Amino acid sequence: MSRAVELRDLRSLDRPSLYGIFAPLDPEERLPRELIIEGRRHRLVGRPEVAAALWLPTLWVILFATGWLSAGTMLVFGVITLAFIGFCFLAWYRDRH
């Protein structure tokens, strides 16, 4: 037999008594560490991917430009080294908030 639900049966769901049992959620509360790490894992493109994608075209541009300008070997090596260091910094630098 089913009985009809009455108002007195639903009293435990009243908002004041519900807040007495469960505290309201804090909108400023940070996510647990696992959820933050999982959110980072699902990003599509980050700094390391951008650095890896730009490295080879930059190398070709450097080689083309220095060859066209008839630059010396040490200058070419120095420019390529600076570009490599710059892309490493781009890939490994993290914003600290």
Q: Domain ranges in the chain?
A: 8-92
> Is the confidence at residue 52, as pLDDT, over 70?
yes
Residue 30 neighbours by CB under 8 Å, 6+ apart: 36
Lowest mean pLDDT among 10-14, 26-30, 46-50, 83-87: 10-14
What's the chain's Rg over C-alpha atoms? 30
pLDDT at 97: 47
The token duo for 19 is 């807040």
Q: How confident is the model at residue 86 (pLDDT cuts 50, 70, 90)?
A: very high
> Is the confidence at residue 63, as pLDDT, over 60?
yes
SS3 87: helix
The DSSP secondary structure of 27-38, one letter per residue, reads TTPPPPHHHHHH
pLDDT at 47: 84
Q: For residue range 24-41, what is the model confidence (pLDDT) as tens digits?
A: 777 777 767 877 777 777
Higher pLDDT, 80 or 38: 80
Residue 19 neighbours by CB under 8 Å, 6+ apart: none
Burial letters 30-56, b for 16+ CB under 10 A, else e: eeeeeeeeeeeeeeeeeeeeebeeebe
